[in-house]
A and B are shown apart, each in its own frame.
Chain A
Amino acid sequence: MIEFKNVSKYYPGDCAAIKDVTFSIRPKEFVSIVGRSGAGKTTLLRLLLKEEPPSEGEILVDGRNVKNIKSKELPLYRRKIGTIFQDFKLLPNKTAYENIAFAMEAAGRAEEDISEDVPQILSLVELVDKADNFPCQLSGGEKQRVAIGRALIHKPDILMADEPSGNLDPLHTWDIIRLLCRINELGTTVILATHDREIINALSKRVISLDRGRVIRDEENGRYIV
């Protein structure tokens, strides 16, 4: 379903964030991408979302080269991918509720769907009483949970989670991980980027290890070894 073929990404200044990466992810798989800070995890996800083009190599999603997605089709493509951004990327002028609702509005969903789904998602991430807070009035963990809610609202085919537990306490972290597992069981492909050793070791799912932009290990039932 997702294929990276010899993908490299160079940033200005000869910095190779990703170097000759090849792997494929089957539909409905749960894959963790691990590696130290700066290993290239976020870059990998950004390439998949077509936020930036790869410098070399090809990325195929559902057999389609991401490079060939026209700018008109790009919004549709992105709606199929739910992303929990490492830096949340919430809209500062919109409340928690509106941030989640916006993704549905942008997709042209009906008003009734929105007023039904958003409260559900909000209670899923335990933010019902913070629904009317703006991002600047939310704690780091609360912002992260809004970001999670927004990523889930589309019922996306692919869920990319970039450090979804970065700002959460252990209790919430496990809630989120359990949530990701459940979503995965319901048929969504999940890509989890993290450097949280405990989570990886407890999950016992497929792990792709990155080091300085290269894949150094790719194993089923992997463990965090760097």
Chain B
Amino acid sequence: MFTSFKRIIKWGLTNFWRNGWLSTATVSIMTLTLLVITVLLMLNVVANVVLANLQNKIDISVYFKLETHEEEILQVKSQLERLEEVKDVSYVSQNEALIRFKEKHQDNPVLLQSLEELEFNPLEASLNIKARQANQYASINQFLESVYYKDLIDKVNYMQNKDIIEKLNKIVVDVKTGGLGLSALLALIVFLVTFNSIRLAIYSSREEINVMKLVGASKWFIRGPFFVEGVLYGLVATIVTILILYPLFYFLSPKISGFLPIGDVFSYFKVNLLSFFLLLLGIGVILGGFSTMIAVRKYLKE
């Protein structure tokens, strides 16, 4: 049993080496597959970060009438915080609003002058609300419009931002579903291409399989070396893929970091190198082993 196992491994390695050209071709195709998979993964990561950043940038503000007491505003705040949709509420008092206003317009002495001349602070206190999801602003707005708060609130800027928020909302949904669908489709295509090239490689061995059968080799003794070869395709392709990606990200990273909110692509890759390797190895080995098994089965049948 153990001897047979050893022989199967030996023949798998020998065949991989002797079918040099065929192995190179198959490994190349599988490498391309793994590269495509990696790029898809990276794109998904980047897209998610971009979307999260965008979502973080939008909020709605509630402005309270000047005569509203601070306790009342804080009460509204704590009520809002209890809502499930609300991720974060921050309170900007009248004073703070004034400080911010002055900072923002410090180059505009006329404006500041006229502000000084007023005997009261004309800026309203406000609450800044961030929702967990872009599509939840509508319901938060509804909550604010309910009768109870109507008297305190001067205005909610939801209506002004409504279009942007809804557009963004649509983009988030589109990118997520579209990206997922496209990734799945591309992944399926590259899988099929690899599967087919392995089947072709084995098709060229069908006469050999027949001869082995005729000289009395059992099915698994015939199948084994092919399986080893298939797994080897996956292993070598994974190593080649990593060897291509490592310098690629190293040189490309400084150039693309500016566009991306993800920071340093290379260090992200480096930190996750082991998981990348294991993931690609898993995909490669399963794809290689599985494809050879299916292909050989066809020629093993009597």
Residues of chain A at the chain B interface (Cβ within 8 Å): 49, 51, 71, 74-79, 83, 85, 89-93, 102-103, 105-108, 110-111, 150, 154
Contact = CB atoms under 8 A, between A and B. Distances in A.
A14 to B, nearest CB: 24
Interface range on chain B (Cβ under 8 Å from partner): 10 to 19
Contacts of B15: 93
B117 to A, nearest CB: 96
Contacts of A89: 211, 214-215
Given A93-B208, A106-B217, A106-B221, 11 more contacts: A74-B302, A75-B216, A75-B217, A77-B216, A78-B214, A79-B215, A83-B214, A91-B208, A93-B14, A103-B215, A107-B216
The listed residue with most B CB atoms (<10 A of its CB), out of A83, A93, A103, A110, is A93
Nearest to A110: B3
Interface of B: 3-4, 7, 14-15, 18-19, 208, 211-219, 221, 302
Contacts of A71: 219, 302
Nearest to B1: A108
B215 A102 contact: yes
Contacts of B302: 71, 74
B211 A75 contact: no
A78 B216 contact: yes
Q: Main SS of chain B's interface residues? A: helix
Contacts of A105: 4, 7, 221
24 contacts: A74-B302, A75-B213, A76-B216, A77-B216, A78-B213, A78-B214, A78-B216, A79-B215, A83-B214, A89-B215, A91-B208, A91-B211, A91-B212, A93-B15, A93-B18, A93-B208, A102-B212, A102-B215, A102-B217, A106-B221, A107-B216, A108-B3, A108-B4, A150-B215
Nearest to B209: A91
Contacts of B218: 75, 106
The listed residue with most A CB atoms (<10 A of its CB), out of B15, B211, B302, is B211
Contacts, number: 56
| Among all A-B residue pairs, the 6 with the closest Cβ atoms | A106-B217, A79-B216, A78-B216, A89-B211, A75-B218, A75-B216
A83 B216 CA distance: 11
Nearest to B4: A108
A103 B212 CA distance: 8
A79 B219 CA distance: 14
A92 B18 CA distance: 11
A131 B34 CA distance: 41
B114 to A, nearest CB: 92
Contacts of A78: 213-216
A104 to B, nearest CB: 10
A111 B216 contact: no
Contacts of B214: 49, 51, 78, 83, 85, 89
A101 B267 CA distance: 52
A57 B212 CA distance: 27
Contacts of B3: 108, 110-111
A111 B7 CA distance: 10
A106 B14 CA distance: 16
A20 to B, nearest CB: 25
A220 to B, nearest CB: 31
A81 B216 CA distance: 9
Contacts of A103: 215-216
B169 to A, nearest CB: 60
A33 B14 CA distance: 40
A78 B215 CA distance: 6
Nearest to A108: B4
B11 to A, nearest CB: 8
Contacts of A93: 14-15, 18-19, 208
A34 to B, nearest CB: 23
